[in-house]
């Protein structure tokens, strides 16, 4: 059992999330005061951390490849305030569906910095994209038929990228170790085209009056804590560029390399924070740009503009979930203490769905030596385990806990199971806390329901 937290490995010694005078703070803000003002559970986000995350990734790529554009993946966190922060920083937007596209347009993102993704886009979202001049990532050749009809009706040119599958074309015999596992992973084949379908789509688009092919898109997706999968993706992309040039005489002016970048304490790894190495922004940039440029030279290709679609790497470590301890249950013959809290896996759903390993710390004395094995559980009628078998300092009823790194895929996936209201959300800027989403009321939970007259 460790004597205390390794503050450096956990990233708790920085300017945003830090331990000051024995208390966990966010941008210097007193988390206890925030809990008292806004109640618990409550999402609390550091504006400064988001801006720092964005600038570091942007600068890492711009230094090596100036023609790089970051398009924030809104699916990670669709808070309007967070979207505005990233709009101010210059981020474009990766939009899955009309809702995220509408959010970006309302938040002032320029249309030429937006891209519409999805495997089954409908006429309404395609119409909005074409009307506003938003690039569309084509997922299947059949999608072009509907798109051309929409563009012809609007008399507007539709600009598209062709989304190709990431790893299924790899020559497995030339790969080693982890890359073989990655190449065989077909769990994301819902999105993207194989090479033959991509050639078919390109040929179709080149003949169209209303559709203009501009780029290629590939999304690595599943978390890998290093840059190796992106090296493979960059090799495959330049190879695909050469094949399409030779087949159709076309080269893309845009390469969209999607997202999937890890970050320190990334809970998606399923492993304790600090137990594995995670690539930095600079390491991702170095490997990807070096690999791309080698491919451009090998196949004699022009250098296109590079688009990236980072999501959780920009927002995940900026948000924590404050929760209050209720009943602490210690059974006589059990090795684990059950710590009941007012937060739930409703509010960080991927803990139960995908085994996310969230770091959970007491707000008071978070760096104290752990002396108890606890399982942190929520109030619903399921097991509702937020963190299992964790070593923590002893906690008691009324204490505050902080669940770290919930900025990505927690608030956007929050549910109302057992009719639990979804939490409030607060933005911290230089020590000041401001509400950015009100807590749901019990009236909100049934406001959308309707009762037939015969049941009244």
Quick one: pLDDT at residue 238? 93
CA distance 385 to 156: 51
What's the mean pLDDT in 78-102? 97
* Token pair recorded at residue 415: 């549910």
Residue of higher predicted confidence among 423 and 353: 423
- Does the pLDDT of residue 211 top 90, yes or no? yes
Asked whether the beta carbons of 267 and 10 are under 8 A apart, the reply is no
Condensed to tens digits (0 to 9), the pLDDT of residues 127-156 reads 999 999 999 999 999 999 999 999 999 999
In a 3-state reduction of DSSP, which class is residue 261?
Answer: coil
150: left (phi over 0), alpha (psi -120 to 50) or beta: alpha
Residue 42 designated active-site: no
Residue of higher predicted confidence among 328 and 188: 328
Quick one: pLDDT at residue 354? 84
CA distance 169 to 184: 10
pLDDT band at residue 403, thresholds of 50, 70 and 90? very high
CA distance 344 to 387: 10
Residue of higher predicted confidence among 297 and 10: 297
- Spot the catalytic one: 42, 104, 348, 381: 381
Quick one: pLDDT at residue 333? 80
Per the omega criterion (within 30 degrees of 0), is the bond before 41 cis?
A: yes
Question: 237: which DSSP letter?
Answer: H
Quick one: pLDDT at residue 319? 97
pLDDT band at residue 170, thresholds of 50, 70 and 90? very low
Nearest to 47 by CA among 410, 409, 431, 311: 431
Condensed to tens digits (0 to 9), the pLDDT of residues 104-123 reads 999 999 999 999 999 999 99
Residue 194 has, within 13 A of its CA and on its CB side, a CA count of: 5
What's the mean pLDDT in 442-455? 94
Give the residue extent of every domain in the chain.
17-46+316-446, 118-310
Q: Which of 81-85, 196-200, 437-441 has the lowest mean pLDDT?
A: 196-200
- Cβ contacts of residue 385 below 8 Å, gap of 6+? 345, 351, 352, 375, 376, 377
Quick one: pLDDT at residue 222? 60
What's the mean pLDDT in 429-440? 97
Question: 311: which DSSP letter?
Answer: -
Q: Percent of the chain beyond pLDDT 90?
A: 77
Quick one: pLDDT at residue 31? 97
Residue of higher predicted confidence among 340 and 185: 340
CA distance 76 to 83: 11
Domain 118-310 maps to which CATH number in 1.20.1090.10, 3.40.140.80, 3.20.20.10, 3.40.50.300?
3.20.20.10
Question: 119: which DSSP letter?
Answer: S
Quick one: pLDDT at residue 5? 60
Asked whether the beta carbons of 200 and 162 are under 8 A apart, the reply is no
Quick one: pLDDT at residue 9? 65
- Cβ contacts of residue 61 below 8 Å, gap of 6+? 68, 70, 281, 285, 288, 289, 306, 308
Quick one: pLDDT at residue 171? 47
Question: 193: which DSSP letter?
Answer: B
CA distance 245 to 250: 5
CA distance 31 to 364: 10
Condensed to tens digits (0 to 9), the pLDDT of residues 248-259 reads 999 999 999 999
What's the mean pLDDT in 212-216? 97
What's the mean pLDDT in 93-101? 97
CA distance 252 to 255: 7
Nearest to 251 by CA among 301, 201, 204: 301
Task: Provide the CATH number for the domain formed by 17-46+316-446 in this structure.
Answer: 2.40.37.10
pLDDT band at residue 173, thresholds of 50, 70 and 90? very low
Residue of higher predicted confidence among 267 and 189: 267
Condensed to tens digits (0 to 9), the pLDDT of residues 24-72 reads 999 999 999 999 999 999 999 999 999 999 999 999 999 999 999 999 9
């Amino acid at each position: 059992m460790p004597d205390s937290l390794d503050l450096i490995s956990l990233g708790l010694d920085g300017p945003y999330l830090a331990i000051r005078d024995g208390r966990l703070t966010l941008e210097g803000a007193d988390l206890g005061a925030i809990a008292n003002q806004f109640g618990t559970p409550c999402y609390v986000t550091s504006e400064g951390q988001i801006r720092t995350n964005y600038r570091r990734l942007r600068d890492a790529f711009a230094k090596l490849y100036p023609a790089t554009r970051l398009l924030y993946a809104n699916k990670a966190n669709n808070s309007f305030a967070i979207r505005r922060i990233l709009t101010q920083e210059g981020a474009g937007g990766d939009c899955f569906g009309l809702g995220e596209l509408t959010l970006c347009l309302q938040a002032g993102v320029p249309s030429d910095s937006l891209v519409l993704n999805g495997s089954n886009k409908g006429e309404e979202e395609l119409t909005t994209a074409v009307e506003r001049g938003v690039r569309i990532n084509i997922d299947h050749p059949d999608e072009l038929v509907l798109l051309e009809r929409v563009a012809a009706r609007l008399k507007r040119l539709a600009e598209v990228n062709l989304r190709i599958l990431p790893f299924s074309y790899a020559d497995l015999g030339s790969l080693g170790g982890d890359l073989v596992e990655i190449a065989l992973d077909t769990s994301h084949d819902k999105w993207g085209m194989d090479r033959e379908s991509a050639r078919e789509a390109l040929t179709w688009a080149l003949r169209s009056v209303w559709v203009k092919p501009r780029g290629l898109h590939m999304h690595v997706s599943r978390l890998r804590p290093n840059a190796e999968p992106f090296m493979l993706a960059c090799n495959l992309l330049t190879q695909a560029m050469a094949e399409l040039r030779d087949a159709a005489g076309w080269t893309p002016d845009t390469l969209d390399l999607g997202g999937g970048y890890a970050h320190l304490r990334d809970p998606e790894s399923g492993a304790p924070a600090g137990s594995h190495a995670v690539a930095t922004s600079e390491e991702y940039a170095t490997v990807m740009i070096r690999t791309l440029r080698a491919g451009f030279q090998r196949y004699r290709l022009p250098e296109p503009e590079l688009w990236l679609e980072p999501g959780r790497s920009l927002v995940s470590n900026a948000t924590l979930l404050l929760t209050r301890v209720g009943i602490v249950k210690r059974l006589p013959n059990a090795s684990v203490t059950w710590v009941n809290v007012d937060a739930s896996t409703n509010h960080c759903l991927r803990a139960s769905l995908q085994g996310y390993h969230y770091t959970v710390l007491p707000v008071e004395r978070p760096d104290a030596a752990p002396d108890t094995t606890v399982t942190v559980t929520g109030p619903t009628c399921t097991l509702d385990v937020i963190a299992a078998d964790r070593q923590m300092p002893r906690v008691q009823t009324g204490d505050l806990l902080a669940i770290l790194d919930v900025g990505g895929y927690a608030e956007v996936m929050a549910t109302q199971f057992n009719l639990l209201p979804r939490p409030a959300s607060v933005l911290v800027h230089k020590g000041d806390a401001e509400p950015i989403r009100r807590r749901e009321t019990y009236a909100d939970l049934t406001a959308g329901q309707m009762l037939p007259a015969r049941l009244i």
